[in-house]
Amino acid sequence: MRLLFRLLFVLAASFMPALAHAASSPQMTIAAAADLHNAMDDVVAAYRRDHPTTAINVVYGSSGALLAQIEQGAPFDLFFSADSDYPHQLIAHGQAGGQSIPYAVGHLVLWSASIDMRGVRLTDLAQSRFGRIAIANPTHAPYGKRAEQALRGAGVWSALEPRLVYGESIAQAAQFAQSGNAQVGVLALSLVLEPAMKGSYAPVPDTAFEPLLQSFVLTKHGADNGLARDFAGYVQSPGARAVLAHYGFSPPTAGEP
């Protein structure tokens, strides 16, 4: 029995340094818009190569839904939104720990796994051959709101509305289009550039919708988190901007709010 206790003591003692190290490692949780899924994964991976002891968790969703979670007390340290309005709302409601900082401009495309979309225009979608069309929910997803603006501006919203399939986020809309639940998706360029998205796309003119200026903000919960502040600086570095550019994001224009 004494031998067993000694063995257990030795095992426990061997794990204590690792547990203490894990407890002391810098940690943070990021709330990120779904259009960032591929790009943010790469940015976090690049950051962790130089900061291997950090623990960074990223939760993806529609910007409006993430805003609601933060305002209800979700312990996110940074909020990366696909629409600058949402960080501004967080600041106005006293739930931010800093100023809103633009980090990218997003773009819309018409994408399909089964139809050659090259040269297709918004007005062409009224043709029945394009079948069901997936967009993100306009009520809380910025890309869905912009898709509605573009389709209304092209004069085809009423004709297409019965054929629309709504995703809770732009990522879910992309899943609908990729799986065949919809034949076409009005999607984020950043998502269709993922190698797994086998298909073709046509750009939606940026003049067809309100600009997708994307911003991030430190939350009130993350105001004293040194890792969150350091990562916020890293996202503005040339290396991080190069990753965003790889996924089709444009840099924000100097002076944009």
pLDDT tens for each residue of 133-187: 999 999 999 999 999 999 999 999 999 999 999 999 999 999 999 999 999 999 9
Q: What does the mean pLDDT of the chain come to?
A: 91
| Structure confidence at residue 249 (pLDDT) | 98
Beta-carbon contacts of residue 217 (< 8 Å; ≥ 6 apart): 78, 79, 81, 87, 90, 91, 96, 97, 98, 99, 100, 101
Q: Which of 12-26, 57-71, 194-208, 232-246 has the lowest mean pLDDT?
A: 12-26
Q: What confidence tier does 1 reach under pLDDT thresholds 50, 70, 90?
A: very low
Q: Which fold has domain 2-105+212-246?
A: D-Maltodextrin-Binding Protein; domain 2 (3.40.190)
Q: What is the mean pLDDT of residues 217-240?
A: 96
User: Do the two domains 2-105+212-246 and 108-203 of this chain adopt the same fold?
Assistant: yes
Residue 30, H or E segment: strand 27-33
Q: For residues 19 and 106, which has the higher predicted lDDT (pLDDT)?
A: 106
| Structure confidence at residue 190 (pLDDT) | 97
Q: Where are the domains of the chain?
A: 2-105+212-246, 108-203
The superfamily (CATH) of domain 108-203 is Periplasmic binding protein-like II (3.40.190.10)
Beta-carbon contacts of residue 46 (< 8 Å; ≥ 6 apart): 239, 240, 243
**What are the Cα distances from residue 106, in Å, to 129, 143, 211?**
28, 9, 8
| Structure confidence at residue 25 (pLDDT) | 81
Q: Report how far residue 171's alpha carbon sits from residue 138's, in angstroms, rounded to the nearest whole number.
A: 13
Q: What confidence tier does 254 reach under pLDDT thresholds 50, 70, 90?
A: low
Check whether 252 has a pLDDT greater than 90: yes
